Structure 1
């Protein structure tokens, strides 16, 4: 009777030891996994914060570039309008002086002044188109650089 009781005690002690070691190993494994996941979550949060900052900087840069573009376009437009008014004013004065000097050819000079104004407007439109094209190419280059950066 003592032998089966001793076997039972040894079996129970071994089983409890196996159970305790299994619980300790599983708890340590779970704690290690939780610790690793904590760093993983922190890394993802840092990565998300960096992405947010990058997006915010990109948005700010786009706004700044649009503002600069608007300022430049406004300045160019104002300068072209001033230049047009000065040239048109001086053209009118010149045409008027020539018309007074050459009264015989007044109708021909009026047609010439009108043609010159049309030519000047055409040249002005070409210059504006070239300027817009250059600006568009520069803007595309900046966007390409920003995409590749």
Structure 2
């Protein structure tokens, strides 16, 4: 007597729960991760804006140390641009572009996932500089070269050399 045996091997098992979000290669899931991260960074940057506005609320009232205020101003700008605005654009692009061109998924989906998971670690390092005794970024410290007239002249000369 013979019996029929069905071998149902599900080799394409997708993880569930938190592992689904960590190991996903689906462009919609990665876009959703970018959008949630962007929203979180928007709230962090908004909290920093509240601290900045509280410091500027009344002349003479000092809530934070001036050096910390400068760090907070720069950190607010970095987080709002590179943590809120740019990841939101990337998240929307991850959602929309494959759908618009009719592709089933993005090219190099694991690299797409990896590029997202760098962001939380990078912004954890960035925000942790506020709590270091040596201090983090100071306001307009990275623009110092723009104020030097000689550097501007040199840049214009180099630009003209490349055009000619």
TM over 0.5: no
Greater length-normalized contact order (CA 8 Å, ≥ 6 residues apart): 2
TM-score by length of 1: 0.36
TM-score, normalised to structure 2, is 0.33
Name the one with the larger helix percent.
1
